[in-house]
Amino acid sequence: MGAFLEILKELPLAILIYLEGIMNKKVTLLSLSVVALLSGGVAMAEDQTQTRDQTRDRVQDQTRDRVQDQTRDRVQDQTQDRTQTKERTRQTTGRELMTPEERQQQRAKMRRSETRKEREKVRAEHHEEMKERAKEQGKTIPANPPAGGMGGGMGGGMGGGMGGGQR
């Protein structure tokens, strides 16, 4: 290093100024290169963050859409089930064609029937009457009465209670 300094001492002042300028330009270029690299890295990091955010948003949108579709399908299924149940209930009896007094009389007839066979006969006769009434009103009910009746009455259902069972 000492030899280099000795050479520099002997060089004219103009050359030293020229070399200093070259060195300053190299340092400046080097500094600019470092700044460019650093800003490029920052830009790349920002791009990665933006890409990650866009991906997260897309996944959230897809999940939200899937949940909405499933909810809509579930609501439609429930609505359809309710509608079908209402229609089935409406079709299975002539109940809405009867007055409250007629319903009471029909229940009394069923209670007075002593055997299952008698109850089936009363039910079949009543169903024929209701089919005629429905036809007169422009409505329809199923061709056959519901099997075993609509339940809820004093019949020999499951678990007939104390001394229950068939008569």
Give the pLDDT of residue 140.
Answer: 84
Q: Between 116-136 and 100-112, two packed helices, what is the crossing angle to 10 degrees?
A: 160
Sign of the alpha-carbon torsion through 99, 104, 106, 107:
positive
Q: How much is the average pLDDT of 58-67?
A: 90
Least confident of 40-44, 115-119, 136-140, 146-150: 146-150
Q: Calculate the CA 116 to chain-centre distance.
A: 47
Question: Rounded to an integer, what distance in angstroms lies between the CA atom of residue 69 and that of residue 88?
Answer: 28
Q: How much is the average pLDDT of 79-94?
A: 63
CA atoms within 13 A on the CB side of 54: 6
Question: Rounded to an integer, what distance in angstroms lies between the CA atom of residue 130 and that of residue 117?
Answer: 20
pLDDT above 60 for 48: yes
The residue behind tokens 């609505």 is: 79
pLDDT above 80 for 131: yes
The answer to whether 113 touches 63, Cβ cutoff 8 Å, is no
Q: How much is the average pLDDT of 93-106?
A: 86
- More confident call, 150 vs 105: 105
At 97 the three-state DSSP class reads helix
DSSP one-letter string for 20-89 = HHHHHHHHHHHHHHHHHHHHHHHHHHHHHHHHHHHHHHHHHHHHHHHHHHHHHHHHHHHHHHHHHHHHHH
Least confident of 105-114, 129-138, 142-151: 142-151
Among 81-85, 94-98, 101-105, top mean pLDDT goes to 101-105
pTM of the model: 0.36
